[in-house]
Amino acid sequence: MRPSKLIALLFSTMVVTFPAAAVTELKISLQLPITHPLGQNLIHFKDKVEKESQGNFKVKIYPSAQLYKDKDVPAAVSSGAINMGVASLTRFAGTIPAVDLFFVPFMFPTYDSVVKATAPNSKIRQKLDAEMTKTGARPLWWQAYGSTVILSKGKPIKHPQDMTGKKVRVFGKIVGELVTAVNGSPTMISGSEQFMAYQRGTVDAGMTGLTAIASRKLYDVMDYVTLTNHADIEFVVLINDKFWLSLTPKQQQILTVAAHQVEKELRGNIVEKEHAALDKIKKTSMQVITLNDAEIRQWKAASSPVVETYITSAGELGNELVKLANAL
């Protein structure tokens, strides 16, 4: 047999194999239950990313603070202990006080103003994203959480003076300043721990979002919810910046496109989800307190000093952001 025919025969009988593409695992820490709208939002992200990457990305979600509490997520992501995580925006307040803009009482009085301020092309959003990325935790997208309401036990809270002497669960420094302004005592408690805090009487009242009341069953341990809607709650989905920079442009594109899609989806549905949560709450023993215009004006007047407190804390960037917010 000629050498050329022998070589051809050998090639025809060989099975050529190529190594399978390496699977890149994304682990996401979430403090809320997977049934919460933020958890469902992550599932939609997971489905989109795994489908678009044809399985080369594998997304694992760890809900209900299985890995990290909310307050620990930014440090865990920036250090690379986990490559992704979800945290309340205010968890950056220690290093970037300006992030608390969204928790300044009545800074964003309408849903439309919130949408404009949180849009990816918003100057407010871009400035805050840049500051967070400097810490090593890059915001991949923002998750709308809804408005802040006040929970209480025993007696409803309708007027600012009703907060006098009460210990109040808060989730950030600036919302805590509101409590101080109305002669209450703010106590920082993680979202995953608030049920036990209310049940044990660690605090008399608390601030949270409507969707959290429903998903965490806070109606089992508190009697009233007052719809002050005094602050907008935002969460951010973070990715370790060094990990992000190690990805190929194609991988970054897959994550970016999916992130934009699920952010738009949640932002567009948050009002509907809050209404659904409120309907669920109304079917429980918890009583819903709605404020009239005069009562809202009382709360605005009582909380007005908090704006100056924020600007003093946040410095030049905070002052700039307040001007941008007012321009909306």
How high is the mean pLDDT of the chain? 92
> Whole-model pTM?
0.84
Angle, vertex CA 242, rays to CA 238 and CA 248, nearest 5 = 95
pLDDT for residue 238: 98
- What are the C-alpha distances in Å from 14 to residues 11, 92, 326? 5, 58, 71
d(CA 266, CA 96): 25
Confidence band, pLDDT 50/70/90 cuts, at residue 192: confident
Query: Tens of pLDDT along 216-272?
Result: 999 999 999 999 999 999 999 999 999 999 999 999 999 999 999 999 999 999 999
- Report the run of H or E that residue 167 belongs to, with start and end: strand 167-170
d(CA 92, CA 313): 13
pLDDT for residue 19: 43
Q: Would you tell me how many other CB atoms lie within 10 Å of the CB of residue 72?
A: 19
pLDDT for residue 15: 42
Q: Which amino acid is at 173?
A: K
Q: Is the pLDDT of residue 12 over 90?
A: no
Of 194, 86, 224, nearest to 144 by C-alpha is 86
In this prediction, residues 199-225 reach a mean pLDDT of 95
Of 172, 150, 170, nearest to 100 by C-alpha is 172
d(CA 313, CA 174): 10
In this prediction, residues 129-158 reach a mean pLDDT of 96
Confidence band, pLDDT 50/70/90 cuts, at residue 14: very low
pLDDT for residue 328: 87
Confidence band, pLDDT 50/70/90 cuts, at residue 16: very low
**CA torsion through residues 309, 310, 314, 320, sign:** negative
Of 240, 242, 262, 258, nearest to 250 by C-alpha is 258
pLDDT for residue 11: 45
pLDDT for residue 84: 98
In this prediction, residues 294-308 reach a mean pLDDT of 95
Cβ–Cβ < 8 Å for 29, 84: yes
Domain ranges of the chain: 23-327
Q: According to CATH, what is the number of the domain 23-327? A: 3.40.190.170
Confidence band, pLDDT 50/70/90 cuts, at residue 22: confident
Of 307, 302, 296, nearest to 164 by C-alpha is 302
